[in-house]
Amino acid sequence: MTTSPTGRPGPGDPLAAAREVASALARDAAARDAAGSAPLAEVALLRESGLLALLVPRELGGAGESWETVLSAVRVLAAADASAAMLLGYHHLHLWRLGHYGNADLAERAARGTAREGWFWGGASNPRDPGLTLVPDGDGYRVRGRKGFATGAQVADRIVVSGDAGGGKVMVVVDGRDAGVRHADDWDALGVRRSASGSVAFEDARVPAGWVVGRVPPDEESARPDQSLVVPGFQAVFVHLYTGIAQGALAAAAEYTRTRSRPWTGSGVESASLDPYVLETYGDMAAQVAAADALAERARAAFGRAVARGRDLTARERGEAALAVSAAKVVAQRAVLDVTATIFEVMGARATAAGAGFDRYWRDARTHTLHDPIAYKLREVGDHALNGRLPTPGPYS
Summarize the confidence of residues 373-394 as an average pLDDT. Answer: 97
Residues 264 and 367 in one domain: yes
- Using DSSP, state whether 188 is helix, strand or coil: coil
**Confidence check: pLDDT of 10 > 90:** no
Which residue type, as a one-letter code, is found at position 388? G
**Confidence check: pLDDT of 11 > 70:** no
Within a domain: residue 197?
A: yes
Which residue type, as a one-letter code, is found at position 226? D
Summarize the confidence of residues 187-216 as an average pLDDT. Answer: 97
Which residue type, as a one-letter code, is found at position 167? G
Sequential DSSP letters for 347-391: H-GGGG-GGG-THHHHHHHHHHTTSS-HHHHHHHHHHHHHH-PPP
Residues 61 and 22 in one domain: yes
Residues 158 and 98 in one domain: no
The reported pLDDT for the residue numbered 12 is 74
Sequential DSSP letters for 269-320: -SSGGG-HHHHHHHHHHHHHHHHHHHHHHHHHHHHHHHHHHGGG--HHHHHH
Report the percent of the chain where pLDDT is more than 70.
97
The reported pLDDT for the residue numbered 5 is 33
Residues 263 and 332 in one domain: yes
Within a domain: residue 396?
A: no
Residue ending a domain, among 220, 235, 250, is: 220
Condensed to tens digits (0 to 9), the pLDDT of residues 131-154 reads 999 999 999 999 999 999 999 999
The reported pLDDT for the residue numbered 179 is 97
Within a domain: residue 85?
A: yes
Sequential DSSP letters for 122-147: EE---TTSPPEEEEEETTEEEEEEEE
Residues 375 and 239 in one domain: yes
Residue ending a domain, among 220, 244, 267, is: 220
Condensed to tens digits (0 to 9), the pLDDT of residues 272-297 reads 999 999 999 999 999 999 999 999 99
Within a domain: residue 113?
A: yes
Phi and psi of 203, rounded to 5°? -115, 80
Condensed to tens digits (0 to 9), the pLDDT of residues 293-346 reads 999 999 999 999 999 999 999 999 999 999 999 999 999 999 999 999 999 999
Within a domain: residue 4?
A: no
Rounded CA separation 22/26 (Å): 6
Within a domain: residue 242?
A: yes
Rounded CA separation 206/123 (Å): 16
The reported pLDDT for the residue numbered 354 is 87
